[in-house]
């Protein structure tokens, strides 16, 4: 009888969403990605100052993102076995050093070094912060993942504005001013580390759940393998396309429509703001309607807009990037939570794998598309990338997951 009474109390405690922690981790994500977005926002200035080609710009992005891509799955797997509550704060330190180097770099080699350090900061931040978001979710995993990720998207959208109105007028060395944001982030993440150690580790422990019905079976190895392969293909589609906008959108606008650098940065801000809105929408909808359908609809649904974009004038280019950003971005929170439900107990590994693969595809995409732009012109990049969302049709092969990552019977 006492056991029966105790269970609802424990379940109730576990179900409480720690909104203060979610707000702190989302704010830290905002600072982290705001600082990191300064690098691509500086590309027009760096291209002119150092005489860089599109290909060299792509290698800069590749260096930053491939560093994060390689390290994130390794760090996620390590911290699944050995949680490190205070690693989040120390990870922000790498970003701080990278910013300082970026501010005073006087050669292309030093720019590459700064990009690698900023990527290292991401590799520590994303797997562990995604774990904290799940621990603080109270069972609303999609909502928590969206709140966490929208902070990063907002930070990414603010970066171009800061570059346009602070860095461009005051020069490359003004990047060092943003090291204060890194210090604030380190302080906030240290406080999150206190909560992680005191309460979060308890939430990682498995709890008894109801016996699944016959209509819901644990996913087989085949289900898991197919789902992971499909999800990675969708990440490839999403982030290869996003690389064309995050790395080259400002240069595309300047080249094709002859707008000023500041006007191009404002257009990039609008697009990244739409990405932030889509991220916030995607998780809660996945909680209610099922993550598979959000994943499928968000990636395929963007296709009409991407096909029109390369042929639009300046006004409609700005308009079209809004639904592209909203629809495309709604997929990622659902993808991460879907994979975490498919592989319970491997929260850090899954977060590291998918964030790392996303960074890697963004980096490879930037490098490949930069070379293509040098050879064929920047407009060709958008004409070819417009077809990438067709890969979203593969979402039809994803199994339908019920509660606790169970596969629903057909």
Examine residue 11 and state whether it is found in any structural domain, yes or no: no
pLDDT value for 401:
65
pLDDT value for 2:
45
Examine residue 12 and state whether it is found in any structural domain, yes or no: no
Examine residue 116 and state whether it is found in any structural domain, yes or no: yes
Which DSSP string do the residues of 26-51 spell out, in sequence order?
Answer: HHHHHHHHHHHHHHHHTHHHHHHHHT
Examine residue 4 and state whether it is found in any structural domain, yes or no: no
Phi, psi for residue 285 in degrees, rounded to 5:
-65, -40
Examine residue 276 and state whether it is found in any structural domain, yes or no: yes
| Chain Cα centroid distance, residue 344 | 21
CA-to-CA distance for 215 and 13, rounded, in angstroms? 29
Q: Give the domain range for residue 316.
A: 18-206+216-408
CA-to-CA distance for 288 and 11, rounded, in angstroms? 21
CB 153 within 8 A of CB 30: no
Smallest CA-to-CA distance from 13 within 283, 285, 205 is with: 205
CA-to-CA distance for 249 and 385, rounded, in angstroms? 13
pLDDT tens-digit map of 84-129: 778 888 888 899 999 899 888 888 999 999 999 988 888 888 788 8
In a 13 Å sphere around the CA of 298, the CA atoms on its Cβ side amount to 30
Phi, psi for residue 105 in degrees, rounded to 5:
-65, 135
Please, what are the averages of pLDDT over each run of 10 residues along the chain (410 residues)? Answer: 41 60 91 84 82 85 79 79 80 90 90 91 82 82 82 79 81 86 92 81 49 55 85 88 85 91 86 85 79 80 93 95 91 83 79 78 80 88 91 82 50
pLDDT tens-digit map of 297-354: 887 789 999 999 999 999 999 999 999 999 988 888 888 888 888 887 777 778 778 8
Domains identified in the chain, total number: 1
pLDDT value for 4:
41
Sign of CA pseudo-dihedral 389, 395, 397, 398:
positive
Residue 168: in which H helix or E strand, if any?
Answer: helix 168-170
- Which are the contacts of 392, defined by CB distance < 8 A and separation ≥ 6? 234, 237, 295, 296, 298, 299, 300, 303
Q: What is the CATH number of the domain that holds 367?
A: 1.20.1250.20
pLDDT value for 368:
86
């Amino acid at each position: 009888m006492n056991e029966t009474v105790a269970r609802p109390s424990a379940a109730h405690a576990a179900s409480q969403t720690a909104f203060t922690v979610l707000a702190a981790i989302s704010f830290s994500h905002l600072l982290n990605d705001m600082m990191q977005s300064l690098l691509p926002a500086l590309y027009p200035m760096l291209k002119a100052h150092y005489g860089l080609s599109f290909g060299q710009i792509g290698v800069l992005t590749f260096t930053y993102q491939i560093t994060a891509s390689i390290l994130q799955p390794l760090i996620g797997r390590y911290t699944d076995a050995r949680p490190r509550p205070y690693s989040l704060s120390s990870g922000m330190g790498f970003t701080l050093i990278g910013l300082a180097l970026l501010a005073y770099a006087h050669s292309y080699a030093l720019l590459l070094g700064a990009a690698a350090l900023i990527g290292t900061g991401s590799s520590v931040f994303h797997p562990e912060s995604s774990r904290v978001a799940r621990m603080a979710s109270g069972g609303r995993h999609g909502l928590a993942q969206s709140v966490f990720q929208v902070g990063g998207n907002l930070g990414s959208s603010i970066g171009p504005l800061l570059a346009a109105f602070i860095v461009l007028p005051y020069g490359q060395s003004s990047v060092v001013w943003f090291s204060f944001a890194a210090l604030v982030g380190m302080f906030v993440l240290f406080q999150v580390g206190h909560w992680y150690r005191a309460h979060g580790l308890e939430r990682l422990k498995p709890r008894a759940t109801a016996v699944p019905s016959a209509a819901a079976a644990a996913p087989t190895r085949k289900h898991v393998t197919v789902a992971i392969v499909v999800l990675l293909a969708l990440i490839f589609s999403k982030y290869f396309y996003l690389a064309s906008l995050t790395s080259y959108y400002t240069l595309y606008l300047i080249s094709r429509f002859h707008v000023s650098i500041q006007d191009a940065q404002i257009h990039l801000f609008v697009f990244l703001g739409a990405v932030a809105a889509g991220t916030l929408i995607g998780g809660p909808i996945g909680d209610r309607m099922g993550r598979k359908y959000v994943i499928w609809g968000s990636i395929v649904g963007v296709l009409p807009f991407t096909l029109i974009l390369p042929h639009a004038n300046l006004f409609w280019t700005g308009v079209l990037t809004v639904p592209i950003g909203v629809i495309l971005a709604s997929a990622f929170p659902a993808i991460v939570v879907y994979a975490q439900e498919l592989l319970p107990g491997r929260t850090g590994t899954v977060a590291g794998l998918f964030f790392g693969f996303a960074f890697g595809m963004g980096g490879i995409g930037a490098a490949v598309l930069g070379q293509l732009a040098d050879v064929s012109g920047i407009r060709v990049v958008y004409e070819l990338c417009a077809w990438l969302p067709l890969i979203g049709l593969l979402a039809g092969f994803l199994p339908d997951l019920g509660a606790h990552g169970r596969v629903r019977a057909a």
